[in-house]
Structure 1
Amino acid sequence: MAARRAAASALELARRRTLGLTDCLPDEELVAQHSPLMSPLVWDLTHIGNQEEIWLVRTAGRRPALRPELDELYDAFRNPRADRPALPLLPPAEARRYLATVRERSHQVLDAASDDRPLLAGGFVFGMVAQHEQQHDETMLATHQLRRGPAVLDAPDPPPAPGGAPPPPEVLVPGGPFTMGVDARTDPWALDNERPAHRVEVPAFWLDTHPVSNAAFQEFVADGGYREPRWWTPEGWAHRQRQGLFAPLFWWADGDRWLRRRFGRVEPVPPEEPVLHVCWYEADAYARWAGRRLPTEAEWEKAARHDPATGRSLRHPWGDAAPGPEHANLDQRHLRPAPVGGYPAGAAPCGARQLLGDVWEWTASDFGPYPGFAAFPYREYSEVFLDRGYKVLRGGSFGTAAVACRGTFRNWDLPVRRQIFAGFRTARSAEPDAAPHRGR
């Protein structure tokens, strides 16, 4: 019963967010493509319903198909984003009716659900569908950032960083083994690429206490970081030249200050917030300039989950309790990152803060399978992306839902992507008896 309530709640929260991101715009903006990197919002709307129909109504519920003719049209692998505006997409009103009809059937399936199949064990399929919808909600939020026009979204600012002495600039994560990943019995809603749990040896390292701030990144820009090839990988430097990169996406110089566009508003770049909308190449170049490096995926997860007092790997940095507003900036509660150094209640045992929420964090690692990986329930969620040049991001952003954000959750994207809500923090290997330093 508790699992059923959790599934119903997760599905309802996702749907409220989906409608909130689409009901605020007129039909002509829903059918428009605001960037070739993104789908028209109306495509996302129907795709969400189609995936729910496929997995909840047909597969889990074993009920007849409602709109089988939509399967090919809303298949993300058959139809690249740049091609989707030319497809015969459902108009917004029909898309909403379809979404509502599918949800009625899904509730019927949920009411009759049991744990008699792997897909239903622990309510996995309901959690998978809720996470899928919330992931598209974050993608739709990124589309809102890319659209031109007056602001239509609003939210209160996140809380300021607490007063008093600031935390140290970096924290030491002790060396040794820890349990990375998770098993279905421990977290039945974990997705296939998070599985299975396995032991990993991680040498001691120092990690930034919080993500790199706009102020710190501005120092890199002012020092000619975008003009100096020695800080960039050869591929990164070629990309920087080809694309003319000079600052994070949505930034521009206005005299001696930097401005940015944020969801239809123009504002000075806030120095105390984590830097946002940088690609992997930019994050890597900054780290080299600072005399540091990006953390590996295993380092990031150990910092976020390992409790040296018990030897356990926690679900979240602060423990196993569900994320609350005191722990992290999630759920589109605020439409911007919180100032660095915030959310002390969400700190990990190592002392690092803001590991979940605020900004996705680029890691040094390529997206690959864990030992013993098995695709479930379909190859196209993770397997087709493995070992294809994607970089791993960890931690979620202010646009990420709590249901799709935990210490084991793995995101991935190409190293050139900047429209996503991504930032980073840096690391350095620990030397015996080394003291904290900043490299520059």
Structure 2
Amino acid sequence: MTESPAPPHAGDDEALRGRALAALLTARERTTLLTDSVDDHDLTAQHSPLMSPLVWDLAHIGNQEELWLLRGVAGREAMRPEIDGLYDAFEHPRASRPSLPLLAPGEARSYASEVRGRALDVLESAPLGDGPALVRSGFAFGMIAQHEQQHDETMLITHQLRSGPAALTAPEPPRAVDAAALPAEVLVPGGPFTMGTSAEPWALDNERPAHQRDVPGFVIDTAPVTCGAYRAFIEDGGYGERRWWAPEGWAMVREHELGAPLFWHRDAGQWLRRRFGVTEPVPDDEPVLHVSWYEADAYARWAGRRLPTEAEWEKAARHDPVSGRSRRYPWGDEDPTPEHANLGQRHLRPAPAGAYPAGRAPCGAGQLIGDVWEWTASDFLPYPGFAPFPYREYSEVFFGPGHKVLRGGSFAVDTVACRGTFRNWDLPVRRQIFSGFRTARDL
């Protein structure tokens, strides 16, 4: 059992330089759209205590780029050392960031732009194919592109939480062409497979190293659980039945009087939702969004099923039983295209269940990449042989039973920050994130 070899760009300096440049430019284009689409008041306001002001994210993006590319790779002096503490995510919790002496919107834009110009100069001359681990295969540049895209997703969450009219628009995702003909669930046979990666050059530390897992056979949903299916749980009194809920989840339901996913409300007998400033009917065929781990777990129990483990999810997404290899993506080793998955904030909503037939895995499951982050049953833990790199605070400090793993990415995630091995994690109470789920069962 092996994983796919490194992608073809992994060892070629010029190809790596081109890939890194494209990733950095794509990320900055998205950052600019997210911050230029609102006025300075919205940039500096805190739209929820769960999130930073957008202007903090903007300057933090620039500060991290300066820290790793200008100081780390190029060895340059700090441009503005006095602001490092302001934009240290571990030094100040999100709720307190509006009270800090943050850079004003104009200053933040100028700072991020100046850092970017200097970083592109570094990219032109940095040796990428070999050398220290930080620059080998262009890792530092890929890490920074992923970091910016992760904050672009965070800023999109802030856009969803802000009040007022819509500031963003996007075309509709493709429809499902054969949803009615798809089976509700598919079989994933038991046996070993290769989990994680040692070959993907821009994989982050928690994705490494590749290792063998023996997973008993199981059955998993062909598509993420839809709003219509979740509505049946609601209408059957799911939020009022203690037996479906983990104790902490039941306490959350009672304390906050929850009765539906975040942003849903009922009006004149119809379920509506607010999505980026627009109120619309809840679409029954779309994967449910903005549910916590506790809600996903309760639904699965109600349905007589369970959440898949992280290893089960990855085996369903990557394992090719014909070759015995673990693919980079469900469809193969090639990078995602718009035909494979709903990524990159291209549509600003999940596609209907059954969309993207070109993106299906060998087992037959679809939409494992993009659309919604999928909660798994697993705690966020290190793989055997894990080594923190390049800093402990990216993954290691979060390991333990307090955080649950999400897999697969969402419509808000860019391709550079979404792989078959990519691991996300969050507290099980989180609902503002673009999270959904699918269920599984034992054979």
TM-score (norm 1): 0.97
* 2:112 counterpart (93, 99, 110): 99
The answer on whether the counterparts of 1:360 and 1:422 sit within 8 Å (CA) in structure 2 is: yes
Are 1:192 and 2:216 an aligned pair?
no
Secondary structure of 2:213's partner?
Answer: strand
Choose which of 172, 183, 187 in structure 1 pairs with 2:187.
172
Closer/same/farther in 2, CA of residues 77 and 314 from structure 1, 3 Å limit: same
State the alpha-carbon separation in 2 of the partners of residues 259 and 85 from structure 1: 32
AA aligned to 2:156 is: L
Contact kept? 2:289, 2:372, Cα under 8 Å: yes
Letter in 2 for 1:146: L
In the superposition, relative to structure 1, how do residues 134 and 286 fare at CA in structure 2: closer, same or farther (>3 Å)? same
One-letter amino acid matched to 2:147: H
Residue number among 272, 275, 287 corresponding to 2:285 in the alignment: 272
Paired residue for 2:8? Answer: none
Shift, 1:68, TM fit: 1.1
Distance 1:227 1:203, change over 3 A: same
Q: Which runs of 5+ in 2 are unaligned?
A: 1-13
Matches within 5 A, 1:287-298: 287-298=300-311
Aligned to 1:360: 373
Give 1:97-246 correspondences, 5 Å limit: 97-114=110-127, 115-163=130-178, 165-183=180-198, 186-246=199-259
Matches within 5 A, 1:310-389: 310-389=323-402
* Corresponding position of 1:3: 16
| SS of residue paired to 2:308 | coil
- In structure 2, how many angstroms separate the alpha carbons of the residues matched to 1:297 and 1:388? 14
Checking the alignment, whether the CA contact within 8 Å between 1:193 and 1:370 is kept in structure 2 is: yes
- Alignment-derived partner of residue 3 in structure 2: none
Structure 1 position 66, deviation (Å): 0.8
* Cα distance in structure 1, aligned partners of 2:223 and 2:179: 16
Q: 1:53 matched to which residue of 2?
A: 66
**1:166 Cα deviation from its structure 2 partner:** 2.1
1:398 is aligned to 411
Please give the alpha-carbon distance, in whole angstroms, between the structure 1 residues aligned to 2:168 and 2:387: 40
| Partner SS for 1:153 | coil
Q: Aligned to 1:364, what secondary structure does the other structure show?
A: strand
- From 71, 82, 91, give the equivalent of 1:69: 82
| 1:166/1:341 contact within 8 Å kept | no
Q: Which amino acid aligns with 2:132?
A: R
> Once the two structures are superposed, what CA deviation does each residue of 1:306-360 show, in whole Å capped at 9, x if it has no partner?
0000000000000001100000000000010000011110000000000000000
Give distance in 2, aligned partners of 1:298 and 1:63: 42
Cα offset, 1:282, TM superposition: 0.2
Following superposition, the deviation at residue 164 of structure 1 comes to 7.2
- Specify the SS of the correspondent of 1:190: coil
CA contact (8 A) 2:179 2:354 kept: no
Deviations 1:198-232 (A, max 9, x none): 00000000000000000000000000000000001
State the secondary structure of the residue aligned to 1:72. coil
> 2 CA distance for matches of 1:278 and 1:207?
19
Among all aligned residue pairs of Structure 1 and Structure 2, give the percentage whose two residues are the same amino acid: 70
Q: 2:313 aligns with which of 297, 300, 320?
A: 300
Shift of 1:65: 1.2
Specify whether residues 233 and 78 from structure 1 end up closer, same or farther in structure 2 by C-alpha distance, changes over 3 A only. same
Q: Matches of 2:268 and 2:440 in 1, distance apart?
A: 33
Contact 1:356 1:397 in 2 (8 A): yes
Measured in 2, the distance between the counterparts of 1:70 and 1:326 equals 42
Structure 1 unaligned segments of length 5 or more: list them.
Answer: 431-440
Aligned to 2:5: none
Cα distance in 1 between the residues matched to 2:141 and 2:93: 26
3-state SS in 1 of match to 2:284: coil
Name the CA distance, whole Å, in 2 between partners of 1:166 and 1:67: 59
SS in 1 for 2:375: strand
> By how many angstroms is 1:153 displaced?
0.2
Given residue 56 of structure 1, which amino acid in structure 2 is its aligned partner? L
C-alpha separation in 2, matches of 1:128 and 1:91 = 26
Total equivalences in the alignment: 428
For residues 61 and 173 of structure 1, the distance between their equivalents in structure 2, rounded to whole angstroms, comes to 47
The equivalent residue for 1:22 is 35
Q: Secondary structure at the match of 2:376?
A: strand
Secondary structure of 2:394 counterpart? coil
Query: Per-residue deviation at 1:163?
Result: 3.9
Distance in structure 2 (CA, Å) of the matches to 1:80 and 1:166: 48
